[in-house]
């Protein structure tokens, strides 16, 4: 029988015997470079700069040239992060800020991140660094981007140089964030940068992204053997609209495309059987030895979860997403379905031999309003409450979960949605750049500060 939750002011409540409250569980917040940094004149152009310049790509016609101006305000932002009581900060490196067109380090860009790493160390906050969060240098895209196998080796070079430059300041590296989004959204349906559209592109781009991951793991394990090195994948459990066999088959097919296509080669060195059903023109170009590189051992796997998807049968593609979602919904129109997180974690646990898991992103966009310097985002607070309990439930059923990162630290450039959608536990006034901790952020802070022990965290 579970013990009663600990009641807190602005409260997020966990059972008093929850593993999430133990000294070896890591709590953090997460961001991505292009979404918060700005400072565009101090780096090379990337594919999102180009994408934002195209008509009708970004809903509010905005861009990331200034974003949250973290490039200028990083010191106060780290003070803000420290005030939340987190153990770790997950952020990404802007490839075009630290590597020039000749493939060499850019001192000013490296210094920017080294200063961040130094301040995090001084605050006793562990740095969880994502090496690729979608902002491919435009000159590499001009050579074919992720459709060009050579890009995987350019990525390996970048990772080699930057990991050496950071030395032992980084506690954990993630090679890629959500390769599904880069490949499918960017190279197949075109709603993300670089905006290519065609089923013949998506799986090819995905393979080169995964190859880049494997090549990067080689250099990380060599350069940073004491860091925790892994990859971050996003998942949406695929449910069928009905129990009709055709709908059940549709949901399973969608799961192969969107979930298993990324985790199975990483963990088992093989693509799902779906690969044999694809037209030859849509299949990735796999060279002998690729899958062995892709399936390099991981120190952890990052899981990003926001919602589930519901599918029904469709004659041409085999499945169709049901657009009429059950309530309640977030401001993105995504169903709030916390049991899907437990289901996902348990399904992965049963299907694969997993390394330790980190929940590297979880959160919700809500239509926040700031009134008298206060943001009462009760819906987001409830979202976090239900999803933290879902993580707790999965741990109780045997899943090895070592950490949880709230997405996002602050409101930011939400890709194709621009600045209209707010995911932050900190509100950003884009006119003044003032940061205000929301009720959800205060609740998160209070939960973390209520833990009985706060000591060094590790996976191993």
Catalytic positions are: 178, 361
Question: What single DSSP character describes residue 90?
Answer: E
- Please name the residue that has the structure tokens 């929301």: 438
Q: What are phi and psi of 447, to 5 degrees?
A: -60, -50
3-class secondary-structure state, position 435: strand
Closest CA to 405 of 449, 435, 450, 363: 363
Q: For 162-193, b where at least 16 C-beta lie within 10 A, e where not — what string?
A: bbebbeebbbbbbbbbbbbbbbbbbbbebebb
CA dihedral 220, 225, 226, 228 (to 10 degrees): 40
Q: What are phi and psi of 176, to 5 degrees?
A: -130, 150
Peptide bond into 328 cis (omega under 30): yes
Contact predicate 211/183, CB 8 Å: no
Cα 133 to Cα 33, 171, 268, 316: the distances in Å are 7, 18, 24, 32
């Amino acid at each position: 029988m579970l013990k009663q939750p600990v009641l807190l002011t602005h409260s997020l409540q966990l059972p008093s015997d929850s593993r999430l409250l133990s000294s070896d569980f890591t709590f953090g917040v997460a961001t991505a470079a292009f979404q918060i940094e700005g400072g565009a004149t101090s780096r090379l152009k990337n594919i999102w700069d180009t994408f934002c310049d195209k008509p009708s790509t970004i809903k509010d016609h905005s861009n990331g040239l200034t974003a949250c101006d973290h490039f200028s305000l990083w010191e106060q932002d780290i003070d803000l992060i420290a005030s939340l009581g987190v153990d770790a900060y997950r952020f990404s490196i802007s490839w075009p800020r630290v590597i020039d067109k000749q493939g060499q380090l850019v001192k000013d860009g490296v210094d920017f991140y080294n200063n961040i790493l130094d301040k995090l160390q001084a605050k006793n906050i562990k740095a969880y660094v994502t090496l690729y969060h979608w902002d491919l240098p435009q000159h590499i895209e001009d050579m074919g981007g992720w459709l060009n196998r050579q890009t995987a080796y350019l990525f390996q070079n970048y990772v080699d140089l930057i990991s050496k430059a950071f030395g032992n300041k980084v506690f954990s590296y993630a090679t890629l964030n959500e390769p599904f989004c880069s490949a499918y959204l960017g190279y197949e349906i075109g709603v993300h940068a670089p905006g290519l559209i065609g089923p013949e592109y998506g799986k090819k781009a995905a393979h080169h992204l995964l190859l880049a991951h494997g090549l990067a793991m080689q250099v990380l394990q060599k350069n940073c053997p004491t860091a925790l090195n892994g990859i971050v994948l996003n998942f949406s459990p695929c449910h069928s609209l009905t129990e009709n066999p055709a709908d059940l088959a549709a949901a399973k097919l969608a799961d192969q495309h969107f979930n298993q296509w990324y985790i199975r080669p990483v963990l088992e060195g093989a693509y799902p059987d779906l690969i044999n059903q694809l037209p030859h023109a849509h299949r990735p170009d796999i060279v002998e030895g690729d899958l062995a590189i892709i399936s390099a051992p991981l120190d952890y796997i990052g899981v990003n979860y926001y919602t589930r998807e519901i599918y029904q049968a469709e004659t041409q593609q085999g499945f169709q997403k049901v657009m009429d979602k059950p309530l309640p919904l977030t401001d993105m129109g995504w169903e709030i379905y916390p049991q899907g997180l437990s289901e996902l974690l348990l399904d992965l646990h049963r299907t694969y031999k997993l390394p330790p898991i980190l929940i590297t992103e979880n959160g919700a966009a809500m239509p926040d309003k700031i009134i008298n310097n206060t943001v009462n985002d009760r819906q987001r607070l409830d979202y976090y409450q239900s999803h933290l309990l879902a993580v707790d439930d999965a741990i109780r059923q045997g899943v090895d979960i070592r950490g949880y990162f709230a997405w996002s630290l602050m409101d930011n450039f939400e890709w194709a949605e621009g600045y209209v959608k707010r995911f932050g536990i900190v509100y950003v006034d884009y006119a003044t750049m003032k940061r205000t901790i929301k009720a959800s952020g205060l609740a998160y802070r209070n939960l973390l500060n209520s833990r009985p022990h706060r000591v060094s965290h590790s996976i191993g």
